[in-house]
Amino acid sequence: MKIDPEESLQKEVRLSEELLNPEMKAKKMKKLGSNRGVETMFRNACRVHVELSAIADSKANFLISVNSIILILAAAHGKEVVTDRLLLFPAAIVIGSCVGSMVYAAIVARPRVTRLKKKGERELSDDEETNLLFFGGFTKIRKEEYVESMSDLIVRPEAIYPTMAADIYDMGKVLERKFERLQTAYGYLLYGLPIGLVLFLTIQTILKLIDNGVV
């Protein structure tokens, strides 16, 4: 491959002008710094979203383990503890709370993958936008359409940042649903378990007092 001397000379002249001109140099450095700042911002935002998703999954797995232990203990020793029919009511509250908490925790931890049948694949219309970086968006279109859209995105730098912003937004919406369900799962355990235990102990105490003739 031959190098054109004239073209090389022109590049050197332009480079020299940029280095000698303070305004052009400052403008170039400002643009470079702003681009790096934006890329750092997007990188940190994606990292935080991924870490928060991992935290939500770990909390959901913790709830599943705790509720499983409680249900196993209730099934193994339920007949020994529940000595009266009145005690079935608080026991049902405890079991129901654990089951509800486990269900919501399992929904949080369950992997969600968008699957389409071959007949369900479609092409992207001209006025329709989709997030090419989020699997929940691009799996709704054909492979050829996705490759073509990505190729078009790569050659248009001005559209890359908006696409990345849309990807972060979609990740945030997924996280919102995760943490809402996780909050509901903790709510079942936080309120249902203490209420059931307090009722159980209260009813058991009253029954013992009745048996002893105190009440």
142-160: pLDDT as tens digits? 888 888 888 888 888 778 8
Residue-wise pLDDT tens digits, 26-38? 554 455 446 778 8
Q: Which of 88-102, 112-126, 193-207 has the lowest mean pLDDT?
A: 112-126
Neighbours of 184 (CB within 10 A): 16
What pLDDT digit, counting tens, does each position of 44-71 carry? Answer: 988 999 899 999 999 999 999 999 999 9
Burial class (CB in 10 A: 0-12, 13-18, 19+), 208: exposed
Q: Which residues contact 28 (CB under 8 A, 6 or more apart)?
A: 18
> What is the domain partition of the chain in residue ranges?
31-211
**What is the model's pTM?**
0.68
